[in-house]
Amino acid sequence: NPSIGQYLSVHKDSFSYPPSNRRLEEAVVVEWSLILKRRLLILLLPPDLRKLVV
């Protein structure tokens, strides 16, 4: 998965970034994990309940 590779390479160098940039990066990662968790939960729901959530 290339995105995981990018994520890891970004985090290897994260100490060289200014703190504000790193904080932004962490915010994006948290945001994404929340979106992915929500998508996963929606996929696990039965189809009739899915319509209510989306």
Q: Give the start-end residues of each E strand in the chain.
A: none
pLDDT tens for the chain, 54 residues: list them.
567 666 556 555 555 556 677 788 888 899 999 999 999 988 998 888 878 876
In a domain, 1, yes or no: no
- For residue 4, tell me if it sits in a domain: no
Rounded to whole angstroms, how far apart are CA atoms 35 and 39?
A: 6
Q: Is residue 49 part of a domain?
A: yes
Q: What pLDDT is stored for residue 54 in this prediction?
A: 64
Structural domains in the chain (count)? 1
Q: Do the domain assignments include residue 41?
A: yes
Q: Is residue 31 part of a domain?
A: yes
Residue 29 covered by a domain:
yes
Residue 12 lies in a domain: no
Q: Which domain holds residue 30?
A: 19-53
Alpha carbon distance 4, 36 (integer Å): 14
How far is CA 31 from each of CA 36, 40, 48, rounded to the nearest angstrom? 9, 14, 27
DSSP state of 13: T
Quote the CA–CA distance of 38 and 3 in Å, as a whole number: 19
